[in-house]
Amino acid sequence: MSTIAARVPVKAVDKTTLMPDDAAIRRMEEDAIERLYAALQKWGRALFRDVTADNVAALVTRLDDAEFNKPMRDALIAVLQDVAAAGVDHGRRQIEMAVYGVKRAANIDPGAVDWTAANVDAAEWATVYGYELIRGITATTRAAVVNEVRYFIDNSITVNQLRDRLMAGAMFNRVRAEMIAVTETTRAYAEGNTAAWEKSGLVEGREWQTANDELVCPICGPLHGTIAKMNEWFRGMYRNPPAHPRCRCVVLPVVTGDTEEFSGMWRFDQVQRDQWSGVPVGATSMLKWKPTMRPAEAEAWAAQGEYKKTLYHITDERNVESIKESGFRVSSETALGRTWGDGVYLFTEQGEFFEGYQEEFGPRGAVLKIKARIDNPLTLDFRNRRVRDVKEELALGNVHPRWNEVFNAMSQSSFGWESAVSKTARELGFDSLIIKGPEAQMIVFDPKRLVIIEP
């Protein structure tokens, strides 16, 4: 097999010849919507199989059972594989149509590229990512199911009514199928492109191109025309599109005969990044955690979570610099910032209790604005009730037996009940507590789910 190693000067390529067929991608999206909507509906109906008022807690435990989520998982992987394969095919055509025509040299043999290997790589990516994706979808679904089970218990509705509420809600409807389909079609197509370009040995970078309907998008607009090496991420945050749910951006291959020139372009982009005020809102989990971020960057980091509002933390001003430098700490021995149980204590609004804490700290008090990346919160509704009555409000003992002992400790006002609540919530897979009531609090267990918004 010939070695592909040419480095020759190139002429400009008409980008319109490299752009994917927009109509073809829209057809793939529509196909994915139909397949994923059918899978969501099948998943939802399967959860209710043989469920009665006596075993309604099975709805929660079944979410992680492969027997029940298999239809959705299989549909996701099949869609990802089909779209990624189409991305590989378009990447191959880009190489054969444009790159070979521009960067042709005596030691380049078009037949040397193993396109089958590119398809294998894309299919393997789709399978691995499909399992990761179903875990995220399941976590979001679990939070909704728990809330509906609570409603079922509190309002004495029938199992059929519970089923109708869930099936008509946001977790199993066509809108969710559409959001997943559009977002993941964009991702899989770009991954297929990348697999083909990597196998060609000719493509040295990717250029981000926004869709026609996103040129003014505050998330993707600043990324338009940005170039990244094949082994680098765009602005250090994105491997490929999407940058946010329903993103329809694409990447194009970049070929250059001058590696130093390309590196210089990348260094310039890194300098731009340091000066860039328009960090995309809606960035994915690819944006890494750090204790403090600028407002737009913090929005981007938190956007994939379930909680969108700004939070507030009050602490002694002497703690502020340490928190900004290393983040919050929740250890009882080295706590940094106010804690509640095993988590960081935050206010969801600036109400009466917030103002009371400000007065308690006096002139030494400092208010930090916070963004949180929360995936699976548990909401405790304390409105019009005392803490010791919350067991009646939640009735979660019917969902998980550990809650009985937790709330027994609460009702007896025993020492450390806050830790008992937060510890059990963590064991059940929740990453935070949202407490509705006069105090309007949120408790976040992992400090690295919190960032401080810099002015």
| Burial letters 274-294, b for 16+ CB under 10 A, else e | eeeeebbbbbbebbeeebebe
Q: Which of 232, 230, 234, 205 is nearest to 220 (CA)?
A: 234
Q: Are 229 and 254 in contact (CB under 8 A)?
A: no
Q: Are 83 and 192 in contact (CB under 8 A)?
A: yes
pLDDT above 70: percentage of residues in the chain: 72
pLDDT in tens, 384-412: 444 444 444 444 433 444 455 555 555 44
Of the segments 44-48, 186-190, 240-244, 391-395, which one has the largest average pLDDT value? 186-190
Instruction: Determine how many CB atoms are found less than 10 A away from the CB of residue 359.
Output: 8
Q: Where along the chain do its domains lie?
A: 1-202, 204-282, 292-453
Pairing of strands 450-453, 292-293: parallel
Q: Are 393 and 437 in contact (CB under 8 A)?
A: no
Give the mean pLDDT of 4-22.
Answer: 57
- In Å, how far from its chain's centre is CA 191? 17
Q: Write down the pLDDT at residue 33.
A: 96
- Point out the least confidently predicted range of 27-41, 94-108, 295-309: 94-108
- Angstrom distance (rounded) from CA 308 to CA 290: 18
Q: Are 122 and 194 in contact (CB under 8 A)?
A: no
For 292-453, CATH gives 3.90.228
- Angstrom distance (rounded) from CA 218 to CA 278: 7
Q: Write down the pLDDT at residue 319.
A: 84
Examine the pLDDT at 317 and tell me if it is beyond 80.
yes
Examine the pLDDT at 80 and tell me if it is beyond 90.
yes
Q: Is the model more confident about 438 or about 289?
A: 289
Examine the pLDDT at 221 and tell me if it is beyond 90.
no
Three-state secondary structure call for residue 3: coil
Residue 346 sits at φ, ψ, to 5 deg, of: -130, 155
- Residue 98: which residues within 8 A CB-CB, separation 6 or more? 13, 14, 17, 18, 253
Q: Write down the pLDDT at residue 117.
A: 83
User: Do you find a cis peptide bond into 242, omega within 30 degrees of 0?
Assistant: yes
The number of helices, as runs of H, and strands, as runs of E, in the chain is: 14, 12
Q: Which of 430, 143, 449 is nearest to 311 (CA)?
A: 449
pLDDT in tens, 131-184: 888 988 888 888 788 888 888 888 889 999 999 988 888 889 999 999 999 999
Q: Which two tokens stand for residue 372?
A: 């949180």
- Point out the least confidently predicted range of 196-210, 353-367, 372-386: 372-386
Q: Which of 435, 424, 441 is nearest to 385 (CA)?
A: 435
CA atoms lying within 13 Å on the CB side of residue 245: 9
Q: Which two tokens stand for residue 435?
A: 């407490």
pLDDT above 90: percentage of residues in the chain: 22
Q: Is the model more confident about 289 or about 90?
A: 90
The total number of residues shown for the chain amounts to 455
DSSP state of 78: H
Three-state secondary structure call for residue 251: strand
Q: Give the N- to C-terminal CA distance of the chain in Å, as an integer.
A: 57
Q: Write down the pLDDT at residue 89.
A: 92
Q: Write down the pLDDT at residue 181.
A: 95
Q: Write down the pLDDT at residue 416.
A: 52
Q: Write down the pLDDT at residue 178.
A: 93
Examine the pLDDT at 72 and tell me if it is beyond 50.
yes
Instruction: Please provide the average confidence, as pLDDT, over all residues in the chain.
Output: 75
Q: Is the model more confident about 231 or about 213?
A: 231
Q: Write down the pLDDT at residue 256.
A: 60
Give the mean pLDDT of 208-218.
Answer: 67
Instruction: Determine how many CB atoms are found less than 10 A away from the CB of residue 115.
Output: 17
Q: Which two tokens stand for residue 257?
A: 């005969």
SS3 string, 107-172, reads CCCHHHCCHHHHHHHHHHHHHHHHHHHHHHHHHHHHHHHHHHHHHHHHHCCCHHHHHHHHHHCCCC
- Angstrom distance (rounded) from CA 231 to CA 248: 22
Q: Which of 182, 173, 195, 178 is nearest to 244 (CA)?
A: 182
- Angstrom distance (rounded) from CA 8 to CA 162: 66
pLDDT in tens, 331-343: 644 455 667 667 8
